[in-house]
Amino acid sequence: MGERLNLIDAHGRTVNYARISLTDRCNYRCLYCMPERGVESIPHSQIISYEEVLFLVGWMFRAGIRKARFTGGEPFVRKGLIPFLHRVNETVPDMKIALTTNGSLLKKYAEEIRALRLAGINISLDTLNDEKFSMITRGGMLSEVLLGIDAIADFGIPIKMNVVLIRGFNDEEIPDMLDYASNRGILLRLIEFMPLDNEVWAKGRYISSFEVVEKLSKLADWTPVALKNEDSSPIGPAKYYANESTAQRIGIISAVSSHYCESCNRLRVNSSGMLRPCLFSNSSLDLRPALISRNSEELFKIFTSALNMKPKIGVKQSMDESRHMVQIGG
Ligand code: SAM
Ligand code: SF4
pLDDT in tens, 273-294: 999 988 877 789 999 999 999 9
What are the E-state strand segments in the chain?
Answer: 17-21, 67-71, 96-101, 120-124, 159-165, 187-192, 224-226, 238-243, 249-253, 266-269, 274-276, 285-286
CA distance 15 to 109: 32
Q: Which ligand is nearest to the CA of 137?
A: 2
- Burial (CB < 10 A; 0-12, 13-18, 19+), residue 187, is buried
The Å distance, Cα 104 to ligand 2 centre, comes to 11
Protein residue with its CA nearest to atom 4 in ligand 2:
30
Average pLDDT over residues 213-242: 80
The Å distance, Cα 235 to ligand 2 centre, comes to 24
pLDDT tens figures, 45-67: 999 999 999 999 999 999 999 99
Query: Is the Cβ atom of 33 under 6 angstroms away from ligand 1?
Result: yes
For Cα atoms 248, 251, 257, give the angle at the middle one, nearest 5 degrees. Answer: 145
Average pLDDT over residues 15-20: 95
Query: Is the Cβ atom of 103 under 6 angstroms away from ligand 1?
Result: no
- 195 CA closest ligand 1 atom index: 23
The identity of residue 264, as a single letter, is C
Best mutation site among 19, 276, 325 for ligand 1 pocket (most ligand atoms within 8 Å of CB) = 325
- 201 CA closest ligand 1 atom index: 23
Average pLDDT over residues 88-112: 98
CA distance 188 to 178: 7
The Å distance, Cα 229 to ligand 2 centre, comes to 29
**Average predicted confidence (pLDDT) for the chain:** 89
**What pLDDT is attached to residue 38?**
80
| Strand bridging mode 187-192 / 159-165 | parallel
| Strand bridging mode 17-21 / 67-71 | parallel
Q: What is the CA radius of gyration of the chain?
A: 19
For Cα atoms 41, 42, 45, give the angle at the middle one, nearest 5 degrees. Answer: 135
CA distance 131 to 139: 9
CA distance 92 to 158: 20
Average pLDDT over residues 252-266: 79
DSSP 84: H
Protein residue with its CA nearest to atom 8 in ligand 2:
73
Average pLDDT over residues 150-168: 96
**What pLDDT is attached to residue 236?**
60
- Burial (CB < 10 A; 0-12, 13-18, 19+), residue 138, is middle
- 71 CA closest ligand 2 atom index: 8
Check: pTM over 0.75? Answer yes or no: yes
- Burial (CB < 10 A; 0-12, 13-18, 19+), residue 129, is middle
Query: Is the Cβ atom of 104 under 6 angstroms away from ligand 2?
Result: no
Query: Is the Cβ atom of 22 under 6 angstroms away from ligand 2?
Result: no
Query: Is the Cβ atom of 194 under 6 angstroms away from ligand 1?
Result: yes
Query: Is the Cβ atom of 133 under 6 angstroms away from ligand 2?
Result: no
Number of C-beta neighbours around residue 190 at 10 A: 26
**What pLDDT is attached to residue 261?**
80
**Residue 330 binned pLDDT confidence (cut-offs 50, 70, 90):** low
The Å distance, Cα 24 to ligand 2 centre, comes to 10
**What pLDDT is attached to residue 263?**
81
